[in-house]
Amino acid sequence: MSVKLKAVVEVSMMSVAFFTLAWCLESLQGVGYGFYSKAAMIFLGLLGIALHKKPREYGLIPKNLSFSLKWSLYTVFLFIPPSIFVVSISLVTKSLNLFKPAALIGLLVWFFVFTGFAEELFFRGYVQSRLNEVFSKKYKSILGVEYEWSQGTLITGLLFFGLPHILSAVNPLTGRLTFGLSTIVTVFFACFLGVILGVLREKTGDILLPTVLHGLTDFTIFGIGRFVGLTLSNAAVAVSFFLFFALAFEKILKENI
């Protein structure tokens, strides 16, 4: 077996293990299974990294903590104004769903720890790092920015992170099938975001910034969306990403670490 095929089989088995376990948990637990499935994803990610005994190379230990922290905080500040704006619109139009602070804290923990961290640990920490060991072909730019990044990052973002989002619409064990236009849009966005997160993972050498950007994205869409509606929350994310690519993305890739 070639080294490339061996790596693909390895990460594929881990991915299949996660989705199978998630389907089983949903069929047994019903509502609330997500906590257990994300905990399983964290376990599988740590297991995969432990098998290779390279915590630094697999993104668990920052290459430059101050660099990652600086750009993570910068990204947070870019997301705040659009979110405040859409909440203000909801207040003015009296369409804001009232919430308790405890609920907001719970959503922050869920989207940053059990979505952002769990998925970045597994996909960018384990899967991408493993594939980049064998898929070493380099690309010279990303979105018009000169930056050398790896083929394994592209494969991870598209085939292991983006496209599998379609599986969130189905569960063969329960017969659930909710495939629709929103699923297609989600898959396309996940493919794009998966590659961007992967490039940021390559640049920073760790999963901190990808985790923050991932958590911000999901929290803004689905967390804030609970209170202002998905139309406004998606608009907030669109503006936030415009600001990120206009003000931060190229600077991050160009700055020396």
Residue ranges with strand state E in the chain: 138-142, 145-150, 170-171, 176-177
Delimit the domains of the chain by residue range. Answer: 3-254
Instruction: Give the residue-averaged pLDDT of 57-77.
Output: 97
Better-scored residue on pLDDT, 85 or 97: 85
Segment holding 49, helix H or strand E: helix 33-52
**Chain centroid to CA 84: how far?**
23
pLDDT single digits (tens) 4-39? 999 999 999 999 999 999 999 999 988 788 999 999
pLDDT above 80: residue 239: yes
Q: What's residue 100's pLDDT? A: 79
Read off the amino acid at residue 98. L
Percent of residues, the chain, with pLDDT higher than 70: 100
Percent of residues, the chain, with pLDDT higher than 90: 91
Enter the pTM of the model: 0.96
The bridge status of strand 170-171 relative to strand 145-150 is unpaired
